[in-house]
Structure 1
């Protein structure tokens, strides 16, 4: 298939799933914030990381995030390490409304693809995202399971996690490995000892 046709189809998919009018009282920008925080790992659930992911300004990102905090969709959790930094977590209210996200139409379309095709498609899209991000000088986001900084063999002794993020020296559980991370570096996809299911809002 012609490369321009592929690029146009990807762009069109984005338009028809993100340019919805107000749905359940939330704007497209607010939906984008909720989707991001549902997928981001605990190291990446910050306003600055969201701004980097969506290539927007920190000011614009902060305004949208504050509006969702005011509506009780997001809650701020202070870091136990220093007490100054904080991460943003979805509330139960946010998890419930994400089931009605207009973006789910695209998820269902992807799920309808054959399993083998999904794997090749995901790999191809990641390569495209990485190339465009590098050309634009933007950070490349990805998941732990294909990150060069993930350490461990999936085996764990009592009281220890099976994987470790080598960038922040923090333990990682199997269920966290398909979450988005701002510290991602492309590496060889690991063979996991358990199944990593699709991320669910936390």
Structure 2
């Protein structure tokens, strides 16, 4: 490992640890906050417990316990599928939205970057993340409107994979079915 690679890895690890130490808030641990943040950013097709676990790189058991705790605290609500009663998704409540609105020192430091610096860092980290996920065989979980299945040729956004119309606001959310292949 080159010295610069080691330094970047150490900086990312330290930033993550410092940020997580601030996420012990409202009687929640960082894993619960991460699950809550993911659920807020995910579309309605990507909020099953298995999707949360895959996105966070956590075990299904850990995520299941986090989701149960979040539901008991009234931060999320479990919705059973009308078609398949075994299938569930979780929606974030108004109370849950207010909990996630808390900004950390890392959020404040990133807000100090100019737009070009922020865009460059986001692109570089996104590339590193995708390489890491590819090496682990993980999914990318991209934004709906950047997916090959996204179709806006009609007047309304449409997912050709799931064969469903989408609300405009859903196209900016994370989807577990995302595929960026051309």
SS at match of 2:101: helix
* Unpaired segments ≥5 residues, structure 2: none
> What is the match of residue 140 of structure 2?
140
Shift of 1:21: 6.9
Q: Does the Cα contact within 8 Å between 1:41 and 1:176 map onto a contact in 2?
A: yes
Whole-Å separation in 2 of the counterparts to 1:26 and 1:75:
16
In the alignment of these two chains, the number of paired residues is: 180
In structure 2, relative to structure 1, the CA distance for the partners of 1:8 and 1:171 (3 Å cut) is farther
Could you give the per-residue CA deviations for residues 13-44 of structure 1, whole angstroms, max 9, x where no partner exists? 21110134732211122111111111111111
After superposition, the CA RMSD in angstroms is: 2.2
Which of 168, 175, 186 matches 2:169? 175
In the alignment, what sits opposite 1:125?
Answer: 125
| Structure 2 CA distance for aligned equivalents of residues 168 and 12 of structure 1 | 40
Q: Deviations over 1:73-93 (max 9, x none)?
A: 110112234444221001111
1:75 aligned counterpart, secondary structure: strand
Structure 2 Cα separation of the partners of residues 21 and 3 of structure 1: 27
**Is 1:151 equivalent to 2:145 in the alignment?**
no
CA contact (8 A) 1:146 1:187 kept: no
TM normalised by structure 1 equals: 0.78
Inter-CA distance 23–125: structure 2 relative to 1 (3 Å threshold): same
Judge conservation of contact 2:74–2:95 (CA < 8 Å) in 1. Answer: yes
Could you tell me which of 66, 72, 75 is aligned with 1:73?
75
Normalized per residue, which structure has more helix?
Answer: 2
The residue aligned with 2:45 is 43
Q: Conserved in 1, the CA contact under 8 Å of 2:158 and 2:164? A: yes
Deviation string 1:24-67 (CA, Å, 9 cap, x unpaired) is 21112211111111111111111100111111111111011111
Q: Which residue of 1 aligns with 2:179?
A: 185
- Distance in 2 of aligned mates of 1:107 and 1:29: 18
Aligned to 1:17: 19
Distance 1:109 1:184 in 2: 30
Q: Is 67-76 or 104-113 further displaced after alignment?
A: 104-113
- TM-score, normalised on structure 2? 0.86
Specify the alignment match of 1:6 in structure 2. 8
Structure 1 match to 2:111: 111
